[in-house]
Amino acid sequence: MANRHERRRAAKLFTEKMSVQEFISLPSMCAWAGCGKTIESPDSEGWSKMLLYKGKTQPDIRHIHPADMQRDCVLCPEHSRHLDENLMIDIGGRLRVFAGTA
């Protein structure tokens, strides 16, 4: 029987390099644990983008050093709404306007 290190090494099937454009064109998946919803283009469907970073507050994300970025993800509309309604402090605005929801 293989030891833990041999099993871990065997689990790495392959490494593939891709261009930035190829990476951007991959489908996006909701970052909420257990969600599984995916979408080809989160820009056109109302999904929320979230970037968590450490360090000084930056008014322009281009000035955030990539090493300081901890999470770069998207949330589906359902989990964006849940985050907006239950976690965020009300500062006079929502992530999105949800017209017609009960």
Q: Going by DSSP bridges, is the β-strand pair 48-53/69-75 parallel, antiparallel, or unpaired?
A: antiparallel
Domain count, the chain: 1
In a domain, 98, yes or no: no
In a domain, 39, yes or no: yes
In a domain, 14, yes or no: no
Give the structural domain span for 32: 21-55+65-89
In this predicted structure, what is the pLDDT of residue 15?
75
Count other C-beta atoms under 10 Å from residue 82's C-beta. Answer: 13
In a domain, 25, yes or no: yes
Report the C-alpha gap between 39 and 84 in whole angstroms: 21
Averaged in consecutive runs of 10 residues, what is the pLDDT profile of the chain (102 residues)?
Answer: 67 76 86 92 82 88 89 89 77 58 50
In a domain, 27, yes or no: yes
